Amino acid sequence: MKKPQLIVFASGSKEGGGSGFENLVRATRSNPRVLNADIVAVVSNHENGGVRERADRLSIPFEHFPLPREAEDYKRIVEKYSNPWVALSGWLKLARGLDPKRTINVHPGPLPEFGGDGMYGHHVHEAVIAAFGNEEVKYSAVSMHFVTEKYDEGPMVFQFPVPIYAGDTAETLAARVNAAEHCWQPYIINLIVNEIISWTGVSGDPVIFPKKTIYPFRVGQ
């Protein structure tokens, strides 16, 4: 039986990044019970950055995605690979033109409180640490959601709490959140691309979850 096809969008940086993408690739190769899918390509806005280095080393086709990045440009890339599932893993641009029911994002903080335009990477961790200092929150989170054309507003699929400790900085919190992302992202993507969790893509329709909890995490709302 043919495995689901998956394309990963990962910005990375000119100097590095892309660890989430590599983690997904290694999950597909280590145990299909973790992520039963074939990653057919990775996309980055940096032509020769960290994501490209990892793609070459892992023998995954690489797509450079320069400006403009309009809806038609997103569609063109995805259609080149026969309309696969899409995982946004550290993709820092607004994704438009993608099928919302086949596109999933991982976000390094609690949603909706710490999402939206400009809330990515260290910006999220800094905001969460500030809220912790004001005694507004006790936890950060790894959040995963389907993707619509507004930042971080698609329906939630999964949220795993990450504790914040006295003395934490944005950097120490980021490391702990990143470790949790690497643990859970392959499992949740597996449930989606194998249609154990699904959504119609229509605003207001509920996400359909398994009747029984498969993993010991908070899933759904």
Q: Judge whether 50 lies within some domain.
A: yes
pLDDT digits (tens, 9 = 90+) for 11-20: 999 999 999 9
A 10 A CB-CB count for 93 gives 16
Q: Judge whether 203 lies within some domain.
A: no
Whether residue 221 is predicted with pLDDT greater than 80 in this model: the reply is no
Which range marks the domain in which residue 158 is found? Answer: 5-193
Percent of residues, the chain, with pLDDT higher than 70:
95
The tokens describing 17, both together, are 């990044």
User: Would residue 64 show up in a list of annotated catalytic residues for this protein?
Assistant: no
Check which CATH number belongs to the domain holding 118 and give it.
3.40.50.170
- Can you name the residues that pair with 141 across neighbouring β-strands? 161
Question: Taking the complete model, does pTM exceed 0.75, yes or no?
Answer: yes
Whether residue 210 is predicted with pLDDT greater than 90 in this model: the reply is no
Q: Judge whether 201 lies within some domain.
A: no
Catalytic residue among 107, 125, 145, 182: 107
- CA–CA dist 106, 143 (Å, integer): 6
Whether residue 178 is predicted with pLDDT greater than 80 in this model: the reply is yes
Q: How far is CA 65 from the centre of its chain?
A: 18
Token match 């070459």: residue? 56
pLDDT value at position 211?
Answer: 75
Whether residue 212 is predicted with pLDDT greater than 80 in this model: the reply is no
C-alpha distances (whole Å) from 146 to each of 99, 155, 159 are 10, 6, 13
Q: Judge whether 103 lies within some domain.
A: yes
Q: How far is CA 172 from the centre of its chain?
A: 20
- CA–CA dist 131, 19 (Å, integer): 27
pLDDT value at position 220?
Answer: 40
> What is the count of structural domains for the chain?
1
A 10 A CB-CB count for 27 gives 22
pLDDT digits (tens, 9 = 90+) for 123-154: 999 999 999 999 999 999 999 999 999 999 99
Q: Judge whether 41 lies within some domain.
A: yes
